[in-house]
Chains A and B, each alone.
Chain A
Amino acid sequence: MHTRRRPAVSALGLAALGLLAASFWVSLKLVPPDRLMGNVQRIMYVHVPAAWVGFLAFTICFGASLLYLWRRDLRWDSLARTSAELGVVFMGLSTALGSIWGKPTWGVWWTWDPRLTTAAILLFVFLGYLALRGFVDEPERRARWSAAVGIVGFLDVPIVYLSVFWWRTLHQKPSGPETVATPMRVALLLGMASFTLFFAFLLAERYRLARLESELELAEVSHV
Chain B
Amino acid sequence: MSFTRRSWAVFRKDLLIEARTRQASNAMAFFAGIVLLVLGFALGPDRRAIQGAAPGLLWVAVTFTALLGLGRAFDAERENRGMEGLFLYPGDRSAVYLGKLGALVVLLGFVEVVLFGLAAFLYNLSLLPVLAPLAGVAALGTVGLAGVGTLYGALTLNLRAREVLLPLLVFPVVVPVVLGAVSATRILLDGGGAGGLGGWIHLLVAFDIVFTVAPLLAFEAVLAD
User: Which of B160, B165, B203 touches A128 (beta carbons < 8 Å)?
Assistant: B165
Which of A11-19, A23-31, A119-127, A173-181 lies at the interface?
Answer: A119-127
Q: Are B183 and A167 in contact (CB under 8 A)?
A: yes
A163 CB–B CB distance under 8 Å: yes
Chain A's nearest CB lies how many Å from the CB of B182? 8
Residues of B contacting A149 in the complex (Cβ-Cβ under 8 angstroms): 152, 155, 169
> By the criterion of a CB under 8 Å from any partner CB, how many residues of chain A are at the interface?
30
Q: Contact at A153–B183, with CB atoms within 8 Å?
A: no
On chain B, the number of residues with a Cβ less than 8 Å from chain A's Cβ atoms is 35
Distance from A143 Cβ to chain B, minimum over Cβ atoms (Å):
10
The answer to whether A163 touches B156 (Cβ under 8 A) is no
Q: Which of A125, A147, A162 contacts B172 (CB under 8 A)?
A: A125
Please give, as numbers and ranges, the residues of chain B lying within 8 Å of A163 by CB-CB distance. Answer: 175-176, 179-180, 203
Q: Are B168 and A148 in contact (CB under 8 A)?
A: no
Q: B176 to chain A: which residues have CB within 8 Å?
A: 156, 159-160, 162-163
Q: Is the CB of B183 within 8 A of A128?
A: no
Could you tell me the distance between the alpha carbons of A153 and B169 in the complex, rounded to whole angstroms?
9
Interface check B148, CB cutoff 8 A: yes
Do A152 and B218 touch (CB < 8 A)? yes
- CB-nearest residue of chain A to B155: A145
Please state if B168 and A128 are interface contacts (CB–CB under 8 Å): yes
In chain B, what residue has the closest Cβ to A125? B172
The residue from B164, B173, B180, B225 contacting A141, defined by CB atoms under 8 A apart: B225
Question: Contact between A156 and B161 (Cβ–Cβ < 8 Å)?
Answer: no
Stretch from A49-57, A103-111, A129-137, A199-207 at the B interface: A129-137
What is the number of contacts between chain A and chain B, taking CB atoms within 8 Å?
Answer: 88
Cβ A125 vs Cβ B196 within 8 A: no
Q: Which of A124, A149, A156 has the most CB of B within 10 A?
A: A156
Verify if A164 is at the interface (C-beta below 8 Å from B).
Answer: yes
User: Contact at B172–A153, with CB atoms within 8 Å?
Assistant: yes
How far apart are the CA atoms of A145 and B175 in the complex, in Å?
21
In the complex, A221 has a CB within 8 A of chain B: no
> From B218, which residue of chain A is reached at the shortest CB distance?
A148
Within 8 A of A (CB), among B154-210: 155-156, 159-161, 164-165, 168-169, 171-173, 175-176, 179-180, 183, 196, 199-200, 203, 206-207, 210
| Distance between Cα atoms of A135 and B222 in the complex (Å) | 16
B221 with A144: CB separation less than 8 A: yes
Q: A152-B151, A163-B180, A166-B203 are in contact. Are A132 and B222 (CB under 8 A)?
A: no
Residues of A within 8 A of B (CB): 69, 121-122, 124-125, 127-128, 131-132, 135-136, 141, 144-145, 147-149, 151-153, 155-156, 159-160, 162-164, 166-167, 170
Please name 7 pairs of A and B residues whose Cβ atoms are closer than 8 Å in the assembled complex, sorted by A.
A135-B165, A152-B148, A153-B172, A156-B172, A163-B175, A164-B175, A170-B183
The residues of B with any CB-CB pair to A shorter than 8 Å are 148, 151-152, 155-156, 159-161, 164-165, 168-169, 171-173, 175-176, 179-180, 183, 196, 199-200, 203, 206-207, 210-211, 214-215, 218, 221-222, 224-225
Sorted nearest first, the 4 A-B pairs with minimum C-beta distance are A163-B176, A124-B172, A128-B169, A148-B222
Given contacts A145-B155, A152-B148, A166-B200, 20 further A-B contacts (CB under 8 A): A121-B172, A124-B168, A128-B172, A131-B164, A131-B168, A132-B155, A132-B169, A135-B161, A144-B222, A148-B155, A149-B169, A152-B173, A152-B211, A153-B172, A153-B173, A156-B173, A160-B172, A160-B175, A163-B175, A167-B179
